[in-house]
Amino acid sequence: MNTADALPTRCEVLVVGSGAGGATTAAVLAEAGLDVVVVEEGEWIAQGEIVPFSLEQMERQYRSGGVTVALGRPGIAYTEGRCVGGGTEINSGLYRRPPADVLDRWRDQYGIADFAPEEFDSIADEVEEELSVRTVPGAVTPSSGLLRDGSDALGWRQSEIPRWMEYPEGGSATSGRRRSMTETYLPRARRAGARVVSGCRVRRLREAGRGVVVDVEVAGARREVLADHVFVCGGAIQTPALLQRSGLRRDVGASLAIHPTVKLSARFPDEVNVGDDVPVHQVKEFAPNLSFGGSASHPGLLALALSDEWPQFGQVVESWRHMSVFYAAITSEGRGRVDALPGFQDPVVTYRLTRRDRDLLRAGLNRLALVMLEAGATEVYPSYRGAPVVRGRRDLADLAARFSANRASVMTVHLCSTVPMGESERCPVDSFGAVKAADRITVNDASLLPDAPGVNPQAAVMAIAIRNARHFAARRSGGRT
């Protein structure tokens, strides 16, 4: 289902990207009376049109089929949404506000002006109401209960993380409908007059006089759109790449922050697999440095988690109904880069783990295996080359001794901080996302977060994007552009 609008030649505000940052930006500005056009490289796919976590979804809603790697030792796989609604259409819907000390650190270390916690919390309240953020009605899925029970047996702090889901009366954990951007803020934007154009790739931006010339490719043809102002909301990889292609390079893309994760698969006596959903419990005993959670465990993804040691592990995939995939995520000290190079359509992404990061990944995988054993796992299969099968506590020392980050399948779904906001000299945009080296270009997505928040970043992205868009609309209505 494609409900895209036609691409105009002129508009007041053009928003590049339709995810958590772009959709909220569009809604706020359109509802303030501005003429808004949202352009999105991917297609518009209605919820329910394809199976969650399926190969079809990866082909149609993920960039590069969901397989993209930040170069380094090790290479780190990452995922990006490439569809109307962006990452909100493909993620698990888990929602958590960043801790107050994280917001304070961002304000103080990066010099973010007018960054009041009261305003942030007020906007977050609005977001949570719009997205129907809530816990699961009734019992959680079996794999979620395993995380809860295993951590409780160890006396480790855990909790159920709420989701932006709408559940029918008397619904269950798997009956929810995700309140993604195509269900919430994009319809709001369109009701206020905004147009959403899918299948439209923005190649570069060029300020000219009192506007921005936007060079786009749509339906195989090159076009130009003249906008009074452009909001770049393409995510932490595509946003810095577009700015760089547009000649805006200073301090852009040089500070990529992520939450690196390592995984394992665990087999249990009973059936536990729910292939089209994820566990809602997370273990935060060692937060903010380390946390544990559950991944999608579709049979294909389970096979992928076993693939690092396939000759030894591969045969157990036949028991997939008794298995689930879990992860250990860290808040990394390392940083990465995003570089748009001439002649390449996609940017080159690199990332370097520190020694502390590597040690923390080892400790995290070891502790996660212990949680699984305490939850009743009969075998644990770590996702790294040369890994042993863990059947009891006596095997944990062997797991740790053999582990090397360079042999592990390290990945991330949380990307941020490539265009950090603030008044500090190291920030390429100001406290509200306006590009310092340009007059009519603003960034408003995960790129702005000064560092990785230690929790799912979407709550922070949406609250900050709404804050910044309101600031822009207020200045615009006051006659200052």
Residues with catalytic roles: 414
Distance CA 261, CA 408 (A): 10
Residues 6+ apart with CB under 8 A from 355: none
- The one-letter code for the residue type at 355 is R
The token pair that represents 49 in the structure block: 């049109």
Which two tokens mark 369? Answer: 């295996």
Residues 6+ apart with CB under 8 A from 425: none
Query: What is d(CA 244, CA 257) in angstroms, rounded to the nearest whole number?
Result: 18
d(CA 453, CA 466): 18
- For tokens 């259409």, the residue is 89
252: Cα within 13 Å, side-chain hemisphere: 29
Instruction: Please state, in angstroms and as integers, the Cα–Cα distance from residue 280 to each residue in 142, 177, 276, following that order.
Output: 10, 15, 13
- How far is the C-alpha of 345 from the C-alpha of 472, rounded, in Å? 31
Euclidean distance between CA atoms 388 and 391, whole angstroms: 9
CB 175 within 8 A of CB 168: yes
CA distance 246 to 313: 48
